Amino acid sequence: MEFTDRKKVLAFDNRHHDGTLNFGSGDNKSNASHDFILGTYNNIEANQKHVSSDPAAIIVEPMLSTGGQILATREFPSFLRKTADVTGAVLIFDEIMRSCLPINGLQGLHKVKPDTTALGKYIRTQKLSHYEAFNNDVFTMSAALAATDLTREDEIRRVNKLGDTIRNKMSEICATHHYSDLEINWSRKRYTTTVSSSQ
């Protein structure tokens, strides 16, 4: 808010950005005390009205986590980037859940560059007890920053290939044992693995 000298923040309904930015069930008393505008995820037409509200910031997950593992359409992040450019708002991508897959996060997939990015706790492994995003854990954040210098794209591809192997093997096992009610849902576009049952 200090950067733009405005009060409103455009967020999206049924979204969760850690404990103080939770929009899963309407007005949440534990949220940070900002003037939130709740838009509709992946709906450009429904969000056109917010362009004129001059938000200080726009915060969005390029892929929903608690909201159903829904990937943003190609057009939606581009629309938000243009909205931020027109209004002077700060565009924030919450990549806490997905940034570990492609080396440049889903913003690389969408080819949209936000003004700032929230990265995941995975880069410091969550092995120390003081790990919540808003706890100001300076030691582990410093370790995470150092780890980013060691991260290599070829290593990320290697780890993702291991994930592909596991998912393919799970699918083979389900097919071999005729578990027709089980489905392994995963694709390069969704960056998630779930097992669902039709029963």
Task: Of 21-25, 50-54, 135-139, 187-191, give the lowest mean pLDDT range.
Answer: 187-191
Which pLDDT value is given to residue 83?
Answer: 92
Give me the chain's average pLDDT, please: 73
Q: Cα separation of 114 and 16, whole Å?
A: 19
Q: What is the pLDDT of residue 82?
A: 94
Q: What is the pLDDT of residue 84?
A: 94
| Per-residue model confidence as pLDDT tens digits over 85-123 | 999 999 999 887 665 666 777 788 788 999 998 876 555
pLDDT tens digits, residue range 152-173?
A: 888 888 887 888 888 788 888 8
Euclidean distance between CA atoms 194 and 182, whole angstroms: 10
Calpha distance 68→12 (Å, rounded): 13
Would the pLDDT of 188 be above 50? no
Can you spell out the DSSP letters for 75-99?
A: HHHHHHHHHHHHHTPEEEEE-TTTT
* Greatest extent of the chain over all pairs of C-alpha atoms, in Å: 61
The CATH number corresponding to 8-119 among 1.10.3720.10, 3.40.50.720, 3.30.497.10, 3.40.640.10 equals 3.40.640.10
Which pLDDT band, with edges at 50, 70 and 90, does 81 fall under? very high
Looking at residue 192, its pLDDT comes to: 44
Segments making up each domain of the chain, as ranges: 8-119, 154-197
pTM, full prediction: 0.61
H or E stretch including 39? Answer: strand 35-39
Most confident of 58-72, 78-92, 149-163: 78-92
CA dihedral sign, ordered 96, 100, 104, 107: negative
pLDDT of residue 133: 56
Between 28 and 171, where is the model more confident?
A: 171
Q: Under DSSP, is residue 74 helix (H, G, I), strand (E, B) or coil? A: coil
- Give the count of beta carbons closer than 10 Å to the beta carbon of residue 147: 13
User: In 3D, which of 82, 55, 30, 64 has the Cα closest to residue 191?
Assistant: 64
Q: pLDDT tier at 3 (50, 70, 90 boundaries)?
A: low
- Picking from 72, 71, 91, 73, the residue whose alpha carbon sits closest to that of residue 81 is 91
Residue 51 bridge partners (DSSP): none
For residue 193, the model assigns a pLDDT of: 44
Spell out the alpha helix ranges (H) of the chain.
Answer: 44-47, 75-87, 105-110, 138-148, 153-176
pLDDT of residue 77: 93
